[in-house]
């Protein structure tokens, strides 16, 4: 079994442990939004998988530092020295959060997507890359000129391991190879058998990078325990503001590859040659791939979020999230028109990410009604994981689609496909450490009412989105 694949606790057993637990304070918890039906309601942010609200603790830390903001690695003045120290201490905090090995490097990037593109840029010549079609586009698309093998969607964790082992056994055994895999699906929330996949990769002489964008905000991630070579994640999913990310892991490919960006900070020495050219000696530390003035506030916010989650205690956060997952799934199970999407089966452990379709509804129309009539923010479409969503909905994984674009006019009932699915897009609800019970309760109630009574308002399509008629 995976390090994370423990059976979810029953709702009753979990409830006893979480009744006294409170959601962590996040920005926006007191924001109210207008309803088309009149009045206002507290906004229910249930789109954590796209961007989680910033923790109040993170925002307070950033606000306290802001007056001391200075150029990092660039100045002798007090504020520059203070900012440089804060920047490098943030690197230490992230390494501790990920339980990195002593020789690992922590490189700060813009996002998970940026991190994986950085790794793709330093792959050794002739590297083979193995990636499941179930990945987010951030993991599916960056590999450029590498020899990429796309693996079919597995239907159990054991099948995932077996599929990877077969593919690796058939590869060129003498060249470098890399496996890229998610820790938790951004579509179904299901946990992947990361430790077992890492063992399979290493047994066949390959390395592995973990896309932890959806895992790190919900579960502790230990580079050592999972035995992955690299891990990538984004600050904006870890309760920090936009614009910062992390790639952490083995240093050798990072040191040997050309700098991801050429410029100041990445170079140690630059000199003109007699022939008119330029000789450059690049850093071998993380600075090699951090050219330019770094996003010190974004980096500090990631470190603050790492500390806040560690201090809050992942055990309690995980237990409370399991309680909310059970509450939500039990509520949706009482609505026959709702079909929850799953790759590994209903009993598969997952984080607080659930996607579903509703018979007789276009997903964009349903999501628009949740927002306009109930003040609930969810996501609809293909979630930047087009092959996976189309596979789960009975379509062809190679078929192209547009996220959020309705396939039938709002207010009309689209014709179901042969498999009973109204459209080849879905609705995603996601939550985390800052979600109160009331948001989940309101969501379940809204689903029941919309399915039973229909929308109370009229909607139209505008620039590919379903919006209420003014």
**Backbone phi, psi, residue 63, to 5°:** -65, -40
Structure-token pair, residue 182? 């998610």
Measured over the CA atoms of residue 355, residue 358, residue 363 and residue 366, the dihedral's sign is negative
Say if residues 215 and 221 touch (Cβ distance below 8 Å).
yes
- Measured CA to CA in angstroms, residue 377 lies from 42, 438, 439 at distances of 11, 14, 10
| CA distance linking residue 405 with residue 112, whole number of Å | 25
Could you say which of 100, 127, 180, 384 is catalytic? 384
- Measured CA to CA in angstroms, residue 178 lies from 100, 256, 280 at distances of 19, 16, 29
Q: How far from chain centre, in Å, is Cα 189?
A: 10
DSSP secondary structure of 226-238: HT-SEEEEEGGGT
Say if residues 329 and 83 touch (Cβ distance below 8 Å).
no
Is there a catalytic annotation at residue 306?
A: no
| CA distance linking residue 139 with residue 114, whole number of Å | 10
| Cβ-Cβ contacts under 8 Å for 350 (sequence gap 6 or more) | 8, 184, 185, 188, 189, 190, 191, 325
Q: How far from chain centre, in Å, is Cα 92?
A: 22
Greatest CA span in the chain, whole angstroms?
A: 80
**Residue (of 238, 213, 214, 208) closest to 226 by Cα position:** 208
| CA distance linking residue 180 with residue 132, whole number of Å | 8
Partners of 58 in the beta sheet? none
DSSP count for the chain of H helices, then E strands: 14, 19
Strand order across the beta sheet in which 379-381 lies: 338-340, 353-358, 426-430, 379-381
Structure-token pair, residue 453? 């009574």
Would you give the end-to-end CA distance of the chain in angstroms?
52
**Backbone phi, psi, residue 392, to 5°:** -65, -30
| Cβ-Cβ contacts under 8 Å for 33 (sequence gap 6 or more) | 40, 41, 42, 43, 375
Question: Annotated active-site positions, please?
Answer: 384
């Amino acid at each position: 079994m995976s390090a994370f694949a423990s059976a979810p606790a029953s709702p009753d057993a979990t409830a006893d442990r979480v009744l006294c637990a409170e959601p962590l304070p996040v920005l926006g918890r007191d924001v109210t939004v207008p309803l088309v039906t009149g009045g206002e309601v507290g906004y229910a942010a249930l789109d954590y998988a796209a961007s989680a609200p910033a923790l109040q603790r993170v925002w307070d830390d950033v606000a306290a530092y802001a007056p001391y903001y200075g150029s990092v690695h660039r100045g002798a003045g007090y504020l520059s020295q203070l900012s440089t120290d804060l920047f490098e201490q943030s690197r230490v905090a992230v390494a501790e959060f990920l339980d990195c090995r002593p020789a690992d490097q922590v490189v700060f990037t813009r996002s998970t997507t940026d991190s994986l593109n950085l790794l793709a840029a330093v792959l050794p010549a002739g590297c083979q890359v193995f990636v499941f079609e179930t990945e987010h586009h951030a993991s599916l698309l960056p590999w450029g000129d590498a020899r990429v093998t796309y693996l079919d969607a597995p239907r159990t964790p054991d099948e995932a391991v077996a599929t990877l082992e077969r593919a690796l056994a058939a590869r060129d055994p003498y060249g470098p190879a890399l496996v890229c895999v998610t820790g938790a699906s951004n579509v179904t929330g299901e946990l992947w058998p990361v430790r077992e996949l890492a063992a399979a990769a290493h047994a066949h002489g390959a390395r592995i990078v973990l896309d932890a964008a959806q895992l790190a905000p919900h579960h502790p991630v230990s580079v050592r325990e999972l035995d992955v070579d690299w891990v990538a994640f984004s600050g904006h999913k870890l309760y920090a503001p936009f614009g910062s990310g992390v790639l952490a892991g083995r240093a050798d490919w990072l040191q040997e590859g050309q700098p991801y960006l050429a410029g100041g900070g990445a170079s140690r020495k630059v000199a003109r040659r007699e022939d008119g050219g330029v000789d450059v000696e690049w850093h071998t530390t993380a600075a090699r791939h951090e050219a330019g003035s770094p996003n010190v506030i974004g980096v500090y916010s990631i470190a603050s979020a790492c500390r806040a989650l560690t201090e809050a205690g992942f055990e309690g956060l995980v237990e409370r999230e399991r309680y909310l997952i059970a509450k939500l799934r039990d509520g949706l199970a009482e609505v026959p028109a709702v079909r929850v999407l799953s790759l590994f089966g209903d009993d598969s452990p997952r984080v607080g990410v659930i996607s579903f379709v509703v018979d007789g509804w276009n997903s964009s129309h349903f999501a628009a009604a949740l927002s306009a009539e109930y003040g609930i923010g969810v996501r609809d479409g293909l979630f930047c994981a087009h092959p996976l969503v189309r596979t789960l909905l009975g379509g062809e994984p190679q078929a192209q689609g547009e996220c959020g674009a309705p396939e039938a006019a709002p207010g009309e009932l689209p014709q179901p496909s042969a498999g009973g699915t109204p459209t080849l897009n879905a609705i995603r609800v996601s939550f985390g450490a800052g979600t109160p019970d009331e948001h989940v309760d309101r969501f379940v109630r809204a689903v029941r009412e919309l399915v039973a009574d229909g929308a109370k308002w009229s909607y139209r399509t505008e620039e590919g989105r379903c919006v209420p008629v003014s």
